Every structure is written in C-alpha cells, then in structure tokens.
Amino acid sequence: MTNKVNMKELFLEMQQEMLTKLNLIRRHVTHAPTKGDAVEISWIEFLGTYLPNRYCVDTAFIVDHTGTRSEQIDLVIYDQQYSPFVFCHSGVKYISAESVYAIFEVKQALNKQHIEYAAEKAESVRALKRTSVPIVHAGGTYPPRPVFDIVAGLITTSSDWNPPFGKPFQEIMGTLKPWQRLDIGCALDSGSFLLKADGTFDISSTEETLIFFFIKLFTQLQNLGTVPAMDIDLYSQALDSI
C-alpha cells in the first residue's frame, strides 16, 4: 500500500504557523522597537529552520577587506564554508562580504518609504569589495569563482497599497538603480513578488504568500551555487605583524 502526503497541506500549515506567530506579535507587543526586534527574530528562526544547514541566518553588519562596513542588515543569509570570519562584538555580528548570499530588510508595511530604505541598504552591501581565490581540493585546484549578484529584498507583514503590487509599487521599483534592485519580497497578508529578468514581476496569490516567497528564495539561493573563497591575506593586512 502506498502512503501519500498532502504537500499543499504541509506547506499551508507551515505558512499558518508563521502567520500565527507574527499576528501574536502584532497584537500583543506595543513597543515599536521591541515589536520590530521580535518580528526579525521570528523570520530568522523561520528561515533558519527551513533552509538547508549550509545557510546561516542572522542580523549583522557586512564588512570587506578594506574595512568598509555596510549599514546594519535585518536579515543576512550567509555561508561560512569558504569565508569563515564572523566577528561577534558585544552581541553585534560582522560578516565578511564574500560570505553573503542574500540580505533583507524587515518592516511592518510595504510602502514607498520602506522600499527606498531597503534599496539603500542593498546598495550599501553590493558596493562592498569582494575577493575570490582558488580552492584546493583532492583532485587539484578550482579557479577563483566570479562573485555573484547578492540577492536583496524586503519582508513586511502587510501593504499600505491596495492592490499591493499595482502601479505605485511598480513605479517606485522602476526608479531603483541597479545596485538598489530588490529581487524578492513579501507582504505576508497580501502576497509575494519576484523580479524577473525582463523587469516584470511574478506575484503570488494571497493564500500562498509565504510558500511562494520561500520556494522562490530557495531557488535563487540554489542558482547562486557556493560563495567565493575569501582572500584571508587581504583581511589580515589590518594586523601589524602581517
């Protein structure tokens, strides 16, 4: 006898679990900074639970070998396999630019102000200098891999627009410069979006917002492959003895 699993039901239950958690925060946490922190932690826990173990998820600053630092990023998806430096100072994390796959800002509402804010954060990360060195393996050496475009996006609970992804949304997204591009995002109670290569958007149904967002994000991460191996010698030049 063949047993079957209702995959749609499993996906929707995963989505409902996250919605319930965020709705509790929205109703019962009244202090704005505390509410923002609680929502960020919920998203970090969600992605940390469902993404494969190779992906780490944290709030952090991102730095490059010149000492240039991004603004603080609400949610960073990164890999420590070939870029092992993650500095933690007084509870604040600093992650090397080479380690980063994706970055997100987490806000309460999808609107013009928050899109522009997330776009500025994306630009501050994409402007950092990333290194890439050969990787030695049992059969020889892999050449340095080209750095990829870091995925950037915006995660919100709701949208100030109705419809959420209509003309106002598309107009403001169309004004963003290349380094400010937002590739993916969601308004959890309204829908998710994915920017396509031709500049148009794939939009989810309201009922499948979180599932669409997660699957499309995971696909983008898979397509990036592995982060480049950082040039540790360049970072170590900050030391007097090297």
107 is catalytic: yes
Task: Report the alpha-carbon distance of residue 110 to residue 192 in Å, rounded.
Answer: 11
Of 40, 98, 105, 183, the active-site residue reads: 105
Among 186, 184, 188, 187, residue whose Cα is nearest residue 196 = 184
Give me the helix-helix angle, 7-28 and 32-50, nearest 10°. Answer: 160
Query: What does 3-23 look like in DSSP terms, one character per residue?
Result: ----HHHHHHHHHHHHHHHHH
74 annotated active-site: yes
Pair 125, 73: CB distance under 8 Å: yes
User: CA 74, CA 155: separation in Å to the nearest integer?
Assistant: 10
Of 74, 79, 98, 123, the catalytic one is 74
Cis peptide before 163 (omega within 30 of 0): yes
Q: Which of 93, 107, 121, 216 is catalytic?
A: 107
Alpha helices in the chain (DSSP H): 7-28, 32-50, 112-126, 167-174, 209-224, 232-236
Which positions are annotated as active-site residues? Answer: 74, 105, 107
